């Protein structure tokens, strides 16, 4: 992981509380530090270290400082991607975390070669996908709700952006199942 670059900013002298081990600036849910007039956002707070998350935190901070009501960032279902080869995309909870939070989850797993590579492209054995959807089990609070989606394969980041919107809206497995997939795409496997 990264270490917040908070040294030599004069924060200690200003009275801003920091974690002595990690160097992160300690903030409340509205990004306010231990000094009422000083806010901190982004990697220096050691929350979710993604540029779009820092933008979200900044918007919430601006609403808190200059708006009519305090606003706090929403860290639930933040989609992210690792632009590796193959790419990795994720949104929501891991299977283990979801099971602890909701009591029981159902896991839907798909491993496949994309249809476009079933034709003679020369890359059929190289291009593979793995998709995993985590859903709250029947009989538990939130039953049917999709609480995690994870994948490895081409365009993972692109797919996770759309899935992130669906998950923010509270999509259920039934919503995914009733959606008509675009054929022939790898994304249709989510439907």
As annotated, the active-site residues are 183
* Local structure of 14: helix, strand or coil: helix
> Cβ contacts of residue 4 below 8 Å, gap of 6+?
22, 23, 24, 25, 43, 44, 45, 46
Of 108, 87, 100, 184, nearest to 140 by C-alpha is 100
- Say if CB 104 and CB 149 are below 8 A apart: no
- Say if CB 41 and CB 31 are below 8 A apart: yes
Of 78, 83, 85, nearest to 160 by C-alpha is 78
Cα separation of 22 and 108, whole Å?
37
């Amino acid at each position: 992981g990264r270490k917040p670059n908070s040294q030599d900013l004069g924060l200690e002298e200003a009275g801003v509380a920091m974690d002595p081990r990690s160097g992160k600036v300690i903030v409340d849910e509205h990004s306010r530090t231990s000094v009422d007039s000083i806010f901190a956002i982004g990697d220096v707070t050691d929350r979710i270290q993604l540029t779009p998350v820092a933008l979200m935190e900044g918007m919430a901070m601006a609403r808190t400082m200059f708006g009519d009501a305090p606003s706090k960032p929403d860290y639930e279902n933040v989609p992210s991607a690792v632009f590796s080869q193959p790419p990795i995309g994720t949104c929501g909870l891991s299977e283990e975390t979801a099971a602890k939070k909701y009591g029981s989850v159902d896991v839907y797993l798909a491993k496949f070669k994309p249809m476009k590579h079933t034709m003679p492209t020369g890359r059929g054995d190289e291009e593979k996908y793995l998709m995993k959807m985590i859903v709250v089990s029947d009989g538990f609070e939130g039953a049917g709700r999709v609480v995690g989606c994870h994948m490895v394969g081409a365009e993972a980041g692109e797919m996770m952006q759309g899935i992130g919107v669906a998950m923010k809206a509270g999509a259920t497995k039934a919503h995914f199942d009733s959606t008509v997939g675009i054929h022939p795409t790898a994304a249709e496997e989510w439907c």
